[in-house]
Amino acid sequence: MKSKGGLNMHPCSSVLHLLLRCMRGCCRHTRSRVPRRLRRHVSYIRLIFKSLYFNSLTNSDVVTDSILEPVFWMVEVVTRWFGMVFVFLVVALTSSVVFIAYFCLLPLVLHTYSPGWMIWHICYGHWNLVMIVFHYYKATKTPPGYPPKMKTDVPFVSVCKKCIIPKPARSHHCGICKTCILKMDHHCPWLNNCVGHFNHRYFFSFCLFLTLGCMYCSVSGRHLFIDAYNTIDQLKHLEAEKQGVPVTGIGLLIGIVPSAGVAGKAVQVAQEVSQPPYTYKDRMFHKSVIYMWVLTSTVSVALGALTLWHALLITRGETSIERHINGKEAKRLAKRGRVYRNPFSYGKLNNWKVFFGVEKRSHWLTRVLLPSGHAPYGDGLTWDIYPLKKDMMPV
């Protein structure tokens, strides 16, 4: 069998050609029967699926993000709604620890500690409290920084697909705040605010000093915690067995005086040692000490790990988001035999100086160890702070 052009055509090809023509005809008849509204919905669904692989930049991460988009949306909505609840929890829990420290532990310190230890605890405790309150307030109230909405001469690296505005380097879109953030690190629900260029230092300082404060309470109150726990535990056994008479004082271990089998000796001991009964005030004191120690120990471990992670990021000159991006870029270049260099890193020590705004030696005291509201380096739009990556600060 020959075609019009003189070429041999295989019989199988002719059969396939006829099948394709029949299928096209059937599809045309089917389309004519499907309602127009349904056809529009079907076309839209097909377009969505095709958008997952519309160019060569699409990879498994894009597909995963698209599939998990409803989960991300739910998290954003819940975080936005409960933002003030998280802030209230921070204030309430911190205030409860401060209340216990003032009304339960401070009187004990004034009556039992030496003058030197007394001055140390009072000075350090109040300094730590002032640093926590100051940096938390500034972290929640300071805007993280936003790129300009209007067209400017500021260089940008991309255009936000949600804001439809130019994005400068290190800027990212926050789905909870519904806007782009300069040098975005993450959205912190405990602040009800994004952590960006202008409040990143306040956030880290708050985490650092809160961790130090919790460690201070946990270490200095460990003996009181052991005494209180043993006291309550022995009282529970005493009430269950209904044996003995509790003899205790605030902050001291309870003594159990046996009453069965040696009644005469019990009476003699009770007469020789007359102690006040275990009152409601004593019980509340011991429970407060246990509550404070468990809370501060838990927070010091969890928040301490977070603080160490952010300290590592600051040392490398990157944010939480950039850590993920830089890791992927480093793997991509490693396959080509190249090494990735972070363009925003100025050296380990200089990264800390830039982060805290340290320009001279005295700034380690006035800007790091004392409350300071100075602005960070730069405007968050450009990042040519040190054209030459040398130690330009004699600190």
Residues with catalytic function: 188
Tokens of 314: 């600051």
d(CA 72, CA 242): 56
**Matching residue, tokens 């006829």:** 18
Distances (CA, A) of 224 to 48, 202, 234, 274, 292: 62, 33, 15, 23, 11
Residue 192 falls in which region: left (phi positive, over 0), alpha (psi -120 to 50) or beta: left
Tokens of 21: 């023509």
Q: Where in 227-358 does DSSP place strands (E)?
A: 245-247, 255-257
Q: How many residues are recorded in the chain?
A: 395
Burial class (CB in 10 A: 0-12, 13-18, 19+), 365: exposed
Give Dmax over CA atoms of the chain in angstroms: 128
DSSP 8-state assignment for residue 376? P
Using alpha carbons, select from 393, 301, 384 the residue that is nearest to residue 353: 393
Helix or strand or coil: residue 245? strand
First vs last Cα of the chain: how many Å apart?
91
Instruction: Confirm if 184 and 170 have CB atoms less than 8 A apart.
Output: yes
